[in-house]
Amino acid sequence: MIRLNLTTLAHAKPGFRQTVKIKLGAAEIGELSVACLRGELKFTRMADDILVEGALYAEVETTCARCLAEFVASLEIRLADEITLPGAELTPEHPVRVENGWVDLTPLLLQYIRLELPSNPICSPNCQGLCPHCGQNLNHGECDCAEEASEEAAIDPRWQALRQL
């Protein structure tokens, strides 16, 4: 849960601004394991809601699509959204509302982080992936499959017939 107290903003006149520093260590946000989340969010009181803007840096644990190893992906998140005021309806577009002066930013941040996460994350541009034969992670060294395959290819079946003569 990423809860902020927005009491002042909720009661302020339109145009009032407030900046909040975000600094979060390892945390579970929804289904994501976040290693770190930091940055600055600027809140502006509008006539009917609160505007939130800012840039956040996030490190999220994910799985490499090539070698299936767990690694931490670094993401830059640009955020611009509205937070609704007490009594307003929650919608998928506006999943966050001030309640008793507090707001839980979790659903909003989750949306933005999910958007930035690549659908096929790769641990490194040089990731060698897994051997299709034995399943070894080739980033940890070569397996024996490559050698065996080349030996087989070297002996042409036609030569094998000649050998028998």
Pick the stretch among 5-13, 35-43, 117-125, 156-164 that binds Zn ion (CB under 5 A): 117-125
Min dist. Cβ of residue 117 to Zn ion (A): 15
Min dist. Cβ of residue 146 to Zn ion (A): 7
Spell out the residues 6+ positions from residue 56 whose beta carbon is closer than 8 angstroms to its own. 22, 37, 38, 39, 41, 76, 77, 79, 109, 112
The total of other beta-carbon atoms located within 10 Å of residue 150's CB is: 9
Tell me if 134 contacts Zn ion by CB under 5 A.
yes
Tell me if 162 contacts Zn ion by CB under 5 A.
no
Q: Which of 50, 67, 79, 108 binds Zn ion (CB under 5 A)?
A: 67
Q: Which residues in 141-160 contact Zn ion (CB under 5 A)?
A: 143, 145
Q: Which of 10, 66, 84, 98 binds Zn ion (CB under 5 A)?
A: 66
HEC profile of 12-59: CCCCCEEEEEEEECCEEECCEEEEEEEEEEEEEECCCEEEEEEEEEEE
Size (the chain), residues: 165
Tell me if 133 contacts Zn ion by CB under 5 A.
yes
**Interface with Zn ion (CB under 5 A):** 64, 66-67, 123, 127, 131, 133-134, 143, 145
